[in-house]
Each structure stands twice: as C-alpha cells, then as structure tokens.
Structure 1
C-alpha cells in the first residue's frame, strides 16, 4: 500500500470520527434542550429527599415548554406550549420570580385556588390538616462553605401525606421554628405554592419566594444520576482522584425523586 493510500485512509478515518462526535453532540444538545436537563443540588432545603451534591435529571416534557425551558430564556413566546399542570407533591425546578436567572427546586404543595397555612409545624391545605406521622431521626454532618467548622445535626423526620395520597419525608429541626406558624396564603390562579422538605431551613413560598407563576416552571425532578458528599468534612476531594470511590454516595445513584 502506498503512502498516498495510507494518508487517504487516515484522513477518511478522522473525518468519520469527527462526524460521529458532531452527531453525538447534536443528539446530546437536543436531549438537553427539549427533554432532560441535568441539575445539581447546592443547598440543604430539600433534605432528606435531596442532599447537597446530588445531581439529577429534570424532565422538561412533564409541564411542557415556556421560555425558561431553553438556554438564555429567549422571549420567543408567552405562557406554555404543550403545557401540563403539575401535581401536588411534585418536586419541581423553577425560575425564582424575583430573579429569573436563578433556578430553585422545591415541592409543589399548593395548587391554584388553594389556601395554605402552617400551624404548629403542620401543613394545612384548604383548612384541613395534612397527615403527618413521626418516622425516625435523620442525622447529618453539616459544614460551613469552607469546611472550617462542622457539626452533627439531628432532625426529627416525619412522613407527610398530601390530600392526593402522595407521601414523602420532611424534616423538623426545632419546634416553633420561624416558618412553623404562618398566615393563610391564598394561591392565585396560574400560580403554585412551593415548600422545601427541610421545613426549618428553606426559603420558599412561605417567605421570600412567594407564589410561583406557571410560566416559571422548568420541569419535574425525576432521577438522581450522581451524588458526591461535598457537604461533609472530608467530602469529595476533587484534587485527589484516589479518594473519589470513598467520597461518592454510590447508594444514591439512579434513585427516583419522590
């Protein structure tokens, strides 16, 4: 075989490889834009359902598409297309109404037209107390952002069951916390009331977040695909790859978000 033939074969091989890479990237982009988008959890407001360092896929198909479904939020249309209403109990990603560049993740507890109130740490919807049963204790080591100080925190964990039968765990750190007693909130049409499962440590519709417009919903959290213990004392030491097998939370891989 001549040198020229070898050169042509090598060139053809590189061309085919480039085509495969470009096609793979195009498919990945389509999936991310229209179907599933990855998100990571930076705060503890959804403990113990979601932990700091969880990475999850969010389904954009669940609620249809608004301008917030797409990169850079282009103002191509108003409202939603192929829209579907969220259900009570969904864990949803949404754009913060006060700053639409920021993503939040909370649980949908109040639908349009509902009244919502917290009384002595118990959620009330439309005047009825939501079923709340003690489950166990949830112990967690919590550190400041620079890991300069860590402490072991023990929460009481309860099972909360919404009127539609959806059950999940919520945490209570202290009785009579700041958000354990609230006014009655009347959810406007086209809006939703969102709460974190870590009830004493969540900025949500009880306070600064307020009601979340339907248009601001990005998608429903579906599955955890990776988790690293970034909030623990020796969590995920990125500079030392040999420690990664011990820093990764293997048991959380492929857990459904409920």
Structure 2
C-alpha cells in the first residue's frame, strides 16, 4: 500500500485567496463598487466621510467599469441614459482616471443655464423651495448657508425628481453662466453644494461636459458614515464618530 501525499495546505489557501479575489473583482465590475466621499461638493445629499455603494450596471458598462480602465473597447455595452437627478460617479474627463461624483442635471440635447443662482433647463426655470438655513460642517470652516428643495423635470422613462441644494448666495462664481447646449453622447453634472462645486459649469478647468463613456455608475445607498472626529487609533471614540442615522440610507 502506498500513501499519497495530499497537496500542502498553503496551496489550498492560495487558491481560496485567488478565487475570492476574482469574485470580488467580478462583483465590483458588474454589480456594485464602494466609494467614499472626500469633499463637500455634494452636501447636503452626501457628507464628507460617507461610504456608499454604486451600481455598475445602471448605465451599462464601459472600459471605466473595469479596474484601471484598460483600453479594451470604446463606448458602452448595454448602455442606457441616466435620468435627470441621478447622483452618478464618473471619471474626470480631463484625466479619465479621477473619480468624481455629481448630480446629473442635463441630458444630451438639453440647454442648461444658471442665472442669478437659479437653474434653467431648456429655457424654463427649475422650481426651488426655501427650506431655511443649513450649517455646513466637516468641509472647512463652519458656515451657515441657505437650503432649497429643487424640482427637476421628468426624464424619458423617469418621473420628476426633487433634491436639496445649498446656496451661500445667488451671486457667486458659478451663479451666472452662459447657456450650455449638451452635445450628443454627453451629460451635464452639478454639485448640490452649488457654490462649492467644480462641475460642468466650468468648461476651462472644471468638469465640462461628461462623456457617457466616463460614467462609472449610479450612487444607490450609504452603507457607512463617519464624521472624522476620531483618529484611527482612538478605538474608544469610534462609536461616537459614526453617523448612525445615515447608515443604510438611499441616495436621492
């Protein structure tokens, strides 16, 4: 009788790690990918320290759906247009590598303009309702600004949408713009923190028009959030730094 040696435990462990890595890459590519919010351009919808899941399938797949954006193909597979009001992650058009997150305001063919802080779509003023004052914290100096509820018109296949925006005043840098005509194959994106967002309103150093190919996915849910009050080594303070009320909330 001969004894066959079983493969070493290290080989099985290596296989497990490889399989787990492939599964994780697959999920991140075709289903959901986690992102965190490092800046305040989307306050009050998203806060600095929010962690959220982005659905990769919402708009179909492009090379930017894959890790490191390999230049394997052009355009989108199973592509579909976002709806006005979607909060979307996309690759910054000027380097095609930096992740940005903004709200989709204009679709291909839309005319977008801001006049005295008011948003206009296709020549019509987008209604906004005052919600009072809002104190911005966690993104530089603590300031108080005005909060509004803005109502975007319906998109093809999607109803009208409402969301909150912030305005320090109606006479800031991007509160008076020319009228932009969104070209085919592109969208127009803006931050909800209107006076503290580098977005499609700036065609020189800002985002400009966003190619549909650059869309990574749609923000769906906040799964974790911290306010930055506890350092990584302050284990005893971690529970007090978590924004418990934001956990598992939908992004709207």
Structure 1 and Structure 2 fold alike (TM over 0.5): yes
Q: Deviations over 1:39-83 (max 9, x none)?
A: 111110000000011111111100011101101111111100011
TM-fit CA distance, 1:37: 0.7
Which aligned pairs between 1:78-117 and structure 2 lie closer than 5 A?
Answer: 78-117=74-113
1:45 aligns with 2:35: no
Q: State whether residues 90 and 108 of structure 1, in contact with CA within 8 Å, keep that contact through their aligned partners in structure 2.
A: yes
Equivalent position SS for 1:32 = helix
Which aligned pairs between 1:135-150 and structure 2 lie closer than 5 A?
Answer: 135-142=131-138, 144=140
Superposition TM-score, scaled by structure 1 size: 0.87
Q: Following the alignment from structure 2 to structure 1, what is the Cα–Cα distance between the partners of residues 102 and 134?
A: 19
Q: Following the alignment from structure 1 to structure 2, what is the Cα–Cα distance between the partners of residues 249 and 18?
A: 37
Equivalent position SS for 1:251 = helix
Residue 197 of structure 1 corresponds to 192
Which aligned pairs between 1:1-258 and structure 2 lie closer than 5 A?
Answer: 22-142=18-138, 144=140, 151-164=141-154, 165-207=160-202, 208-230=206-228, 235-258=229-252
Q: Following the alignment from structure 2 to structure 1, what is the Cα–Cα distance between the partners of residues 87 and 166?
A: 16
Q: Following the alignment from structure 2 to structure 1, what is the Cα–Cα distance between the partners of residues 136 and 48?
A: 11
TM-fit CA distance, 1:29: 2.3
Q: Following the alignment from structure 1 to structure 2, what is the Cα–Cα distance between the partners of residues 34 and 91?
A: 18
May I ask how many residue pairs the two structures share in their alignment?
Answer: 241
TM-fit CA distance, 1:139: 1.1
Equivalent position SS for 1:200 = helix
Q: Following the alignment from structure 2 to structure 1, what is the Cα–Cα distance between the partners of residues 136 and 94?
A: 31
TM-fit CA distance, 1:142: 4.0
Equivalent position SS for 2:238 = helix
Q: State whether residues 159 and 170 of structure 1, in contact with CA within 8 Å, keep that contact through their aligned partners in structure 2.
A: yes
Equivalent position SS for 2:82 = coil
Superposition TM-score, scaled by structure 2 size: 0.89
* Larger Rg belongs to: 1
TM-fit CA distance, 1:221: 0.5
Considering only aligned residues, what root-mean-square deviation do their CA atoms show, in Å? 2.0
